[in-house]
């Protein structure tokens, strides 16, 4: 796991540690000193610790004018033992929402497992962004199945093209536009009914 680092291809455009609106503003990362672990596995020092012992993240891009953020995740999403959604919602998402972000793209190819708790924080997140959405990008099939069994997938847009998108080949805005178009298509029938 120590070889898996957050995506660095957009670092010329955005660094969460240099963003005064980011929860990680002023954070310093070593390239050589490994300190955080998931269970007994050290992880790359570029990941940000949000307070969970099993789930780490990196805000790899945030655009406050257009209201979207890309958040890459690493580890085990464990709500039942560690209440990871509480850390994510309270310590990261709330700050982004306060600063105009209402479209979240969670990149989950490095999320290895999901263990559900209750859905209160997911419901609150959805209520806090009435005109926005949360898209799950490239999550593993078994993780999506675990989320579906927990009945929280109705808070996310996932599946289809979002499971196989080669997102690293894009810059942030064109990628966001592609995802927004796909999300809008998926949400359109639901919003017409409501």
CATH code, domain with 185: 3.30.750.24
| pLDDT grade for 34, boundaries at 50, 70 and 90 | confident
Give a yes or no: residue 38 inside a domain. Answer: yes
Give a yes or no: residue 112 inside a domain. Answer: yes
pTM for this prediction? 0.95
Give a yes or no: residue 157 inside a domain. Answer: yes
Quote the number of domains for the chain. Answer: 1
Give a yes or no: residue 8 inside a domain. Answer: no
What sign for the dihedral angle of Cα 173, 179, 181, 183? negative
User: From CA 15, how far away is CA 8, in angstroms rounded?
Assistant: 9
Task: Output the pLDDT for position 191.
Answer: 53
Give a yes or no: residue 3 inside a domain. Answer: no
Task: Output the pLDDT for position 30.
Answer: 77
Phi/psi region, residue 132 (left: phi>0; alpha: psi -120 to 50; beta: rest), is beta
Give a yes or no: residue 132 inside a domain. Answer: yes
Mean pLDDT in residue range 62-74:
98
| Residue 48 domain boundaries | 16-193
43: CB partners within 8 A, 6+ apart: 1, 2, 4, 34, 36, 37, 56, 74, 75
Task: Output the pLDDT for position 31.
Answer: 76
Task: Output the pLDDT for position 7.
Answer: 97
Q: Count the alpha carbons within 13 Å of 146 in the hemisphere toward its beta carbon.
A: 17
Give a yes or no: residue 5 inside a domain. Answer: no
Give a yes or no: residue 138 inside a domain. Answer: yes
């Amino acid at each position: 796991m120590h070889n898996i680092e957050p995506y660095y291809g957009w670092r010329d455009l955005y660094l969460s540690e240099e963003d005064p609106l980011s929860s990680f503003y002023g954070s310093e990362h070593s390239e050589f000193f490994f300190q955080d672990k998931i269970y007994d596995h050290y992880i790359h020092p570029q990941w940000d610790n949000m307070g969970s012992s099993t789930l780490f993240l990196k805000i790899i891009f945030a655009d406050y004018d257009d209201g979207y953020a890309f958040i890459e995740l690493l580890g085990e999403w464990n709500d039942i033992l560690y209440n990871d959604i509480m850390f994510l919602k309270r310590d990261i998402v709330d700050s982004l929402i306060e600063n105009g972000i209402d479209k979240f793209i969670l990149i989950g190819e490095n999320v290895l497992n999901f263990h559900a708790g209750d859905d209160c924080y997911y419901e609150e997140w959805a209520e806090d962004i009435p005109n926005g959405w949360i898209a799950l990008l490239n999550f593993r099939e078994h993780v999506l199945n675990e989320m579906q069994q927990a009945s929280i997938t109705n808070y996310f847009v996932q599946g289809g093209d979002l499971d196989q998108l080669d997102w690293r080949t894009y810059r942030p805005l064109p990628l966001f536009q592609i995802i927004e178009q796909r999300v809008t298509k998926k949400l359109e029938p639901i919003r017409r009914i409501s």
